[in-house]
């Protein structure tokens, strides 16, 4: 049995998006406003495309939540696409010119679709809206047991905005970044980034970047070293790379491991009667051997420039085999801030799953009691 097991369905310009989630603990208070707030955070940010002015994502709860509380039954959520009205009953030319670095061509070959719109409608990042909605439920459960998640953007179009985040609480990170159009902790570079985004828009270009996700108060031992599929960092990496346009991830100091020797990059272990076991550094990013070690979990994801360009690159028509400019679709110039919000809510599912494997599935109070009493498991030390 997989805890918080979910599947999404729907197309970018179809009637809507759907998620069905099974094995959710009962007894969790959830309201529409909480989920809609996370959806609104996903739609913010400078450099977003025209779709954001059309859609105002709002969730509709179909089942699994009664009188604002989870019941243990599968939860089903729906987001209706407002843009569907603009496409309904409209004659649309088939897409035969695949975009470079998109799913169009390979997806068409794999599923034998002569109209590549059948591919791009599902591969679109619009799908992340419903994943944020589902992840918001996992996030609410984590908040109820004291686990906090935040993120900040640290690179856009080559402009670095990295900040030492350990001096900030997750609440402080969220407050600062939610007020920034680029979700920066250091807002001094906002004007410079805005100029770069405006320049890319004029040139019909797009920009990528990176963001860091931080998670506090994850219990020690969540995850496992015994089976690869239960390793916490492996599961987080899988989920992050499943987000459209995310191309790489690094935990802790990441690539710096390749430039330093072992005595400079491993977190030494200490002990005293007040703290118990502790570390003075956190190079590992809060995960050792596939398990949470009690420190802040943090990782960085890198997002490629969006492959839909208004100044399109060359491609080949799949019917005529002639060289053409790839199709133009309404698109963002830069969506790194939005991707960081998606990552926050998606990673909540991975953390919750690991917690439920350890403490149980049925009711939120069972999970809380398990965490509360977990210190007894370490008495042998």
- The CA distances from residue 173 to 154, 176, 257, 288, 356, in Å, are 13, 5, 26, 24, 27
* Model pTM above 0.95: no
Buried b / exposed e across 306-330, counting CB within 10 Å, b at 16+?
bbbbbebeebeebeeeeeeebbebe
Residues paired with 297 in a beta bridge: 215
Cβ atoms within 10 A of the Cβ of 224, count? 18
CA nearest 30: which of 146, 171, 136, 150? Answer: 136
Pairwise CA distance, residues 336 & 154, whole Å = 10
Closest by Cα among 18, 51, 35 to 335: 51
The residue extents of the domains of the chain are 5-378
Which ranges of the chain have pLDDT less than 70?
48-55, 87-89, 326-330, 375-381
Q: Domain 5-378 has what CATH class?
A: alpha beta
Residue 90: predicted pLDDT: 75
Helical axes 232-241 vs 336-359, angle rounded to 10°: 150
For Cα atoms 247, 206, 190, give the angle at the middle one, nearest 5 degrees: 95
Return the pLDDT at 47: 73
Question: Residue 45: its pLDDT value, please?
Answer: 85
Of 211, 219, 212, residue with least CA distance to 166: 212
> Which pLDDT value is given to residue 175?
96
Cα dist. 161→152, 209, 301 in Å?
A: 9, 10, 14
HEC assignment per residue over the chain: CCCCEEEEEECCCCCEEEEEEECCCECCECCHHHHHHHHHHHHCCCCCCCHHHHCCCCEEEEECEECCEECCCCEEEEEECCCHHHHCCCCCCCCCCCCCCCCHHHHHHHHCCCCCHHHHHHHCHHHHHHHHHHHHHHHHHHHHCCCEEEEEEEEECCEECCCCHHHCCHHHHHHHHHCCCCCECCHHHHHHHHHHHHHHHHCCCCCCEEEEEEEECCCCCCECCCCHHHCHHHHHHHHHHCCCCEEEEEECCHHHHHHCCHHHCCCCEEEECCCEEEECCCCCCCEECCEECCCCEEEEEEECCCCCCCCCCEEECCCCCCEEECCCCCCCCCCHHHHHHHHHHHHHHHHHHHHHHHHCCCEHHHHHHHHHCHHHHHCCC
């Amino acid at each position: 049995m997989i805890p918080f097991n979910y599947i999404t369905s729907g197309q970018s310009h179809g009637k809507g998006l759907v998620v069905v989630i099974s094995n959710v603990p009962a007894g969790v208070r959830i309201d529409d406003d909480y989920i809609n707030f996370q959806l609104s955070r996903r739609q913010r940010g400078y450099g977003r495309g025209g779709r954001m002015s059309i859609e105002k994502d709002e969730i509709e709860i179909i089942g699994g939540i009664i009188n604002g509380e989870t019941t243990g039954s599968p939860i089903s959520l729906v987001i209706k696409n407002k843009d569907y009205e603009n496409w309904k009953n409209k004659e649309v030319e088939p897409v035969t010119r695949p975009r470079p670095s998109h799913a169009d061509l390979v997806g068409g070959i794999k599923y034998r679709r002569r109209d590549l719109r059948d591919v791009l409608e599902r591969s679109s990042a619009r799908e992340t809206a419903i994943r944020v909605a589902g992840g918001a439920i996992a996030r609410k459960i984590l908040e109820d047991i004291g686990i906090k998640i935040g993120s900040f953007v640290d690179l856009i179009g080559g402009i670095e905005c990295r900040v030492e985040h350990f001096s900030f609480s997750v609440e402080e990170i969220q407050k600062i970044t939610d007020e920034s159009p680029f979700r920066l902790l250091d807002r001094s570079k906002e004007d410079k980034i805005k100029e770069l985004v405006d320049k890319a828009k004029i040139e019909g270009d797009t920009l990528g970047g990176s963001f860091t996700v931080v998670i506090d108060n994850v219990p020690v031992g969540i995850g496992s070293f015994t089976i690869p599929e239960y390793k916490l960092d492996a599961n987080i990496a899988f989920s992050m790379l499943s987000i459209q346009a995310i191309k790489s991830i690094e935990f802790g100091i990441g690539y710096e491991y390749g430039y330093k020797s072992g005595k400079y990059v491993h977190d030494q272990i200490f002990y005293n009667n007040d703290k118990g076991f502790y570390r003075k550094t956190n190079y590992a990013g809060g995960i050792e051997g596939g398990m949470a070690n009690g420190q802040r979990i943090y990782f960085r994801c890198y997002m490629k420039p969006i492959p839909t360009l208004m100044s399109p690159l060359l491609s080949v028509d799949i019917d005529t085999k002639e060289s053409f400019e790839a199709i133009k679709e309404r698109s963002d110039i830069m969506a790194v801030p939005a991707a960081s919000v998606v990552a926050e809510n998606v990673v909540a599912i991975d953390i919750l799953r690991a917690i439920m494997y350890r403490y149980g599935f049925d009711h939120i109070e069972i999970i809380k009691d398990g965490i509360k009493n977990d210190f007894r498991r370490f008495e042998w030390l």
